[in-house]
Amino acid sequence: MQGMRIRTPNDIQNLPGYVSKIDPKLIPLSHIVIHYDIRPFDIQCGLCGRAHMDGRIIALADVSKSITNIGHICGKKYFGDMYVDALRRYNDAITRPQLLQKVSEGIRKVDSLQLQLQSIRLHGVSLLRQSVQFHALSPEIFDLLKRRAINNQADIYESVERTKEEIEDLLAANPFQSRDQLLTKEVYRGTVAGHKFLSIDWSVERGIQRLFCEVSELLDFNFHPGQLATHKLVKWANWLDDLDEQIKSVKSAVLEGERFFSQTNLQLFALLPALPAAREKIRNFHLSELDDSYSVRSTPYKTLPAQKVRPLGRIRAERPKSQLTLKQLRRLLGNKKVR
């Protein structure tokens, strides 16, 4: 039965010896047969009768060797320690070997992605460095752009004075308007590319950089995950399930940064409602003045030279230290505690 795939309620109800309802006081538990997850379908629990999607098939210690299905909560509630012991035996005999195989394969997959992940990480570091320098150039415009990113405001408008003829035409169309309110108009000038970049959380705790820390932690097991407890294996198996989406999110964040730092965007930034001195500084600034170490513009991450890449999760003492100061990191990460 372990090789069987249970996808629907019918798959469960058609199993040999299946009964839909049991009395745990009359028929004791023998062992757990298999775990199932039939989302988006559901099926009634053989103990409490409530519908659920995630549960286990259990064998009963009766003469007919019946089986039924139960939800993941009812087992302990109705069978107590007997179920806890059965679950431990099931995990040791069935779940743990499966988890070990999955995590071992996952480690090999992550190891094969090291060059790609390290290249993406270096681009992220470059973008963070440029972000710190951009903040130092004009804190006012940086903070304004960050607020706009959080509010998903990408379009830039410039306040332009209306001509006398335009004002007279508007008053003629609606004489109840205030002349003072008609003196200026908002003219669309463009859309900021990569405008979400400044709203992205790059922190190690919950943000983009957390992926690289977790990759290092996984590879530090040195291809021997058998030392991990079962609940740790479950954690890493779930993490591996989401790995592709995490990498996709990191790539998307880097792409936003690549698009954000452009000369076209700088021209738009100079139109923001900031102090004249700040706008003038942005207007006269050129991106070539930013630190272009591991420049995202000159070195696409897919072609990063291998000799510049250090393996993740191997030698902690050799990992390059951040060139940013603690003060700069705190400012960049929103004044979070940085050690």
Range of lowest pLDDT (66-80, 112-126, 166-180, 306-320):
306-320
pTM assigned to the model: 0.62
pLDDT of residue 291: 65
Looking at residues 172-178, what average pLDDT do you find? 89
CA 246 to chain centre: 5
pLDDT band for 1, please (50, 70, 90 cuts): low
C-alpha closest to that of 251 among 206, 301, 286, 288:
301
Residue 156 has pLDDT above 70, yes or no: yes
pLDDT of residue 297: 41
Q: Which residue has the higher pLDDT, 259 or 203?
A: 259
d(CA 273, CA 129): 25
Q: Where are the domains of the chain?
A: 9-79, 108-152+195-332, 155-191
Sequence-distant (≥ 6) Cβ neighbours of residue 310 within 8 angstroms: 118, 318, 319, 320
Residue pair 225/103 in contact by the 8 Å Cβ criterion: yes
Range of lowest pLDDT (100-104, 106-110, 312-316):
312-316
Looking at residues 111-118, what average pLDDT do you find? 92
pLDDT of residue 338: 45
Adjacent-strand bridge partners of 51 = 44
C-alpha closest to that of 33 among 21, 53, 51, 15:
15
Residue 175 has pLDDT above 90, yes or no: no
pLDDT of residue 305: 35
Looking at residues 300-327, what average pLDDT do you find? 41
pLDDT band for 206, please (50, 70, 90 cuts): confident
Starting at the edge strand found earlier in the chain, the sheet holding 54-60 runs 29-37, 54-60, 67-71
pLDDT of residue 207: 87
pLDDT of residue 112: 93
Q: What one-letter code names the amino acid at 156? A: I
d(CA 136, CA 225): 45
Range of lowest pLDDT (2-6, 56-60, 233-237):
2-6
Residue 130 has pLDDT above 50, yes or no: yes
**pLDDT by residue (tens digit) across 284-293?**
998 888 765 4
Residue pair 43/51 in contact by the 8 Å Cβ criterion: yes
- Rounded to the nearest 5°, which phi and psi values hold at 2? -65, -30
d(CA 242, CA 210): 13
Sequence-distant (≥ 6) Cβ neighbours of residue 122 within 8 angstroms: 294, 301, 304, 308, 309
